[in-house]
Structure 1
Amino acid sequence: MSGPVVPGGAPDTDSPGCTACTRRTVLAGAGLAAVALATGCGSGRAQQGPVRVPVTDIPVGGGLILAAHRLVVTQPVAGTFHAFSAVCPHQGCSVSEISDGLIQCVCHGSRFGIDDGAPLHGPAREPLSRRTTTLADGQLVID
C-alpha cells in the first residue's frame, strides 16, 4: 500500500496510513508555526521568571526589545528604567523597533512612549502592559 501522492507524482511513504497529510504539508505547517512564534503572533510570554538585563545594554533616550522574553526595556533619561510587554494591545503583534523616543509596532503603525508605554499614535488605544522592575548589581531585573 502506498501513501498519499505529493506534487510531482511520488507517493509520500514517510507517513504510512496518513491519507490527509504529506511530509511537505507537515513541514510547511511546522515552518508557519515557527514564523508565528518568531513574529510574536502568539499569546502570553515566551519565557517565565525574572529577566536580568545589564543597565549598560539599555541606551539612554531609547531602549531594547527582548524578543525571546516578549519584553521592551527603556531608559528615557539616565538612571530611569521601565519595562513593558512587547505585545501590542491592538492585535497582538510584537513591537519591533525603538527610535525617536517611541516604541513602534510595524504591523499597523501604533507608537508608544518610552517613558510610560502610552499610545501616542493609533490604532492602538491601550498602553503597553507595564512590568515590575528593580535594580540589582548593575542589572535591571524584570518580573
Structure 2
Amino acid sequence: MNTCRRSVLAAGAAGAVTLATGCGGDGGGPSAPETGGTPEASDSASASRGTSAPGGEELARTADVPVGGGTILKGPKVVVTQPEAGQFKAFSAICTHQHCLVGSVTDGLIVCPCHGSRFRVADGSVERGPATKPLPPERITVSGGAVLLT
C-alpha cells in the first residue's frame, strides 16, 4: 500500500475527500501533456492549450504532435496523433480495458501502463490486449496550426 493510500485511510471519512484530491498517480506532479519520442511541448504551446478558439477548444499545436506518434492531454483526457505528416486524429485517452489513462505514444502505438494494452495511432484499434475495444474517436478540426476539439 502506498503512502498516499495509507494517509487517506488514516484520515477517516471526514478528511478522505480532501486527501484523495491530492493523491495523483504520477507522483503528484503537474498534469502536463506527454509526448512519445519527442521533448515536452514548449511553454508557449502549453500555455495556449485548453483555450477556446473559433471552431472549438484548442488541444495542441500541430508542431507539437510528432509524425508517427502523438501527444496525451491529461486535462481533457484526449490523445492527439499524427499517423502520417499532416494527418491528425484524436481519441479518448481512457483505456477501454479498465479505464486507466494511457501513458505514452511510442512506435506508432498508444500504450496503457496499467495492463499493457496497445492501440494504433492511425485509428485507435487494439494492437494488443487485454483491451478488446478500440479507443473511441474524438471530433477534431485542424485550423491555423492548431488541433481543435469540436
TM-score of the superposition, structure 1-length normalised? Answer: 0.70
> Displacement, 1:101?
0.8
Poorly superposed stretches of 4+, deviation over 3 Å: 26-29, 33-39
Say yes or no: does 1:135 pair with 2:142: yes
Counterpart position of 1:59: 66
Gaps of 5+ in 2: 1-9, 28-49
> Match of 2:19?
31
Q: Which among 83, 102, 127 is matched to residue 120 of structure 1? A: 127
Q: Deviations over 1:39-58 (max 9, x none)?
A: 9xxxxxxx9x8331210111
Q: Which amino acid aligns with 1:120?
A: E
TM-score, length-normalised on structure 2?
A: 0.67
Q: CA deviation at 1:100?
A: 1.0
- Please list every run of 5 or more consecutive structure 1 residues that lacks an aligned counterpart in the other structure: 1-22, 40-46
**Alignment length (residue pairs):** 113
Aligned to 2:93: 86
Deviation at 1:126, TM superposition (A): 0.4
Secondary structure at the aligned position of 1:88 is classed as coil
Q: Which moved more, 1:132-141 or 1:105-114?
A: 132-141
State which structure, 1 or 2, has the greater radius of gyration over its C-alpha atoms. Answer: 1
Instruction: Calculate percent identity across the aligned residue pairs.
Output: 41
